[in-house]
Chains A and B, each alone.
Chain A
Amino acid sequence: MNLAVRDILRHRWRFIQTSVGLGLLIAVVMSMGGIYRGLIADATVALTSTGADLWIVQKDTEGPFAAASRLPEDAEYRIAAVPGIAQASGLSFQNMQVSRFGKPLRFFLVGYKLNGLGGPPVIVAGRGIRQQHYEMVVDKAMKIELGETLKLGLNHYTVVGITKGMASVAGDPFAYVTLANAQDIQFKTDNDAIRNSRARIAQKMSQVATLSPAQITQLTPLVTEIAVSTHMVNAVAATLAPGADLKEIQESIQRWNHYRAISTAEQEKILTSGMIQKSKMQLGLFRIILLTISAVIITLIIYTMTMEKTRVIATLKLIGSPNKVVAALILQQSLLIGLIAYVIGYVIVSATYDKFPRRVELVAFDLEALFAIVMIICVLSSLIGVRKALKVDASQALGG
């Protein structure tokens, strides 16, 4: 027979109310932990799904995800030629927002080569891209059906496949097109703009005294071609040959090719410590605040419950209960409230986490750590009540 449980059962409605309230707080704390894990997962899913060991980006940048990076498409061939590199392919990445049925549709557009790295890792419906042009694979979160079309840049793209769980650092779902299409969408200017550029280039060249008008006429299309080239990528992803030394290859690319070679591990650090650091701190702060509120609530409820039990405690002492029996009564009630609240919180989060707008990942370690923290809070919160209970004198049971 457990006194703590018996007392609680006698006041079960109030106990349930308190536990549900605390359970909601714990659910928020728990989901914030899951949101943080989701941020990390979103930040790194592009890295891990590509299967690349190295990311070659524009010199002195932390691209392509955390910062802008541009390099010529043919860099791919030069990287592939570096000893120790097994495969290298250019990729383009781009945040996009288009209007669809009058509503904004945000996504993260990946351009990849059909036989290269960085394509959709898993197709859950439909098929992968087979045509060089105007096919796309989208993430399930975009809520676009197979066979629908989407206008990107100047052209319409047909959805041929669906992926799942692919999202960017910002939480936007992924969409995939071929690199050539992505370059069109990202870099291609319309004919008017090209005509304008050409006129501007011709005008600049006419100021160069050593060029004859005939030379200018010949040079202008060539210069324009280079100036408005769409043959750019944001990064080259590369895999290493078995046994190749990562550090050595990174250094060699940096020295001879004037690009920055970021390992996947470094890239992960850039993304998690840089981009989501503030979110992490923010979430952490909220969690501390909510846990503090929980501690205050538990303290108050345990204190009230103890005060209401003064006479019971005095009677227990009068019939000879040792202090540890009295202290255990209070402590166990506190732990029970915490335990039930935790279970309620867990049930709420488990039932809802996949309906959150952003990815929420429940990690066993986080759940265990939170449980331990809740239990510690319960112990600390019960201390004031326990102190009060130990001070009750047996003679308080008399009279009345």
Chain B
Amino acid sequence: MHAIEVKGLTKIYGKGHTEVVALADASLTVSPGELVAVIGPSGSGKTTMLTTIGLINEPTRGLVILDGITVVDGSWVPGLDLKRIRRERLGFIFQSYNLIPFLTAVENVIVALNLNGVRGKEARMRAVELLDKLFLGSRLKNYPTELSGGEAQRVAIARALANRPKVILADEPTAALDTDNGKNVMELLKKLAVEHNSAIMVVTHDSRMVEGFDRIFEVHDGRITHEPVRT
């Protein structure tokens, strides 16, 4: 069973004159524990690919199977609790970190655990443990505004990984960081994903960040132009 299976995934924004084909007929599979990167220039449809796979954006057509569950078949499969699938099986990481500003680092991780019914001491323990692994043991009680970009993104990684999801989707996670911090964050992300046996799909426009990935896809104008490159 694949962690991610995508067939003919297409997303068209707008209609008529303003129609934009953001994603055209994309097909790919990712195995559990596999590290996959998608690179392409700005506007090529990377974010669209991630958000349609991640059940944030409804695709125009295509098929998506996540962790064995058919979630898109032409459109969102009716009757599915998308939020539940998101919180139980998916982890998201974004360029802009998206931390909750009124929660401390550790609380930002606890939120995700709480949503899956892990509460109290247990949640705090797991959050602290994870943040320790991301070298944030001394920043637990800091608010997002008190963290550097690299630290904030590592908190976001902890939040995404907290529930040990089968699939992690990361949209330009290093774009707001300098090269050293970016590489550092990417290394930690890869290391933890492997540890958790999570499939990970990272999109980026920065080819320097894709070292060590199992496969790399290239997209242009919404199409996957290069077959996966083994590194």
Contacts and interface: CB of A to CB of B under 8 A. Distances in A.
18 contacts: A1-B107, A1-B111, A6-B103, A9-B102, A311-B98, A315-B100, A318-B56, A318-B86, A318-B98, A319-B112, A320-B84, A320-B85, A320-B90, A325-B115, A394-B56, A397-B98, A398-B47, A398-B56
A321 B103 contact: no
Interface size class, chain A = 20 to 34
Interface string A376-400: 0000000000000000001101111
B111 A3 contact: yes
A10 B83 CA distance: 27
Given A315-B100, A320-B84, A320-B115, 9 more contacts: A1-B114, A10-B101, A312-B101, A316-B100, A318-B86, A319-B86, A319-B92, A319-B159, A398-B51
Interface string A1-45: 101001101110000000000000000000000000000000000
Interface in A321-340: 321-322, 325
Top 5 closest A-B pairs, CB basis?
Answer: A320-B87, A10-B102, A320-B86, A7-B102, A315-B98
Contacts of B57: 395
A385 B195 CA distance: 42
Contacts of B88: 320
Interface hub of A311, A317, A394 (most chain B Cβ within 10 A): A394
A11 B112 CA distance: 23
Given A394-B56, A397-B94, A312 B83 contact: no
Contacts of A399: 96
B171 interface: yes
Given A1-B110, A315-B100, A395-B56, A321 B115 contact: yes
Interface string B54-66: 0011000000000
Nearest to B50: A398
Contacts of B143: 10
B105 to A, nearest CB: 13
A212 B92 CA distance: 122
B51 A395 contact: yes
Contacts of A398: 47, 51, 56, 94, 96, 171
Interface hub of B98, B114, B159 (most chain A Cβ within 10 A): B98
Interface in B159-200: 159, 171
B157 to A, nearest CB: 13
B21 to A, nearest CB: 18
Contacts of B101: 10, 312
A399 B103 CA distance: 21
Contacts of B96: 398-400
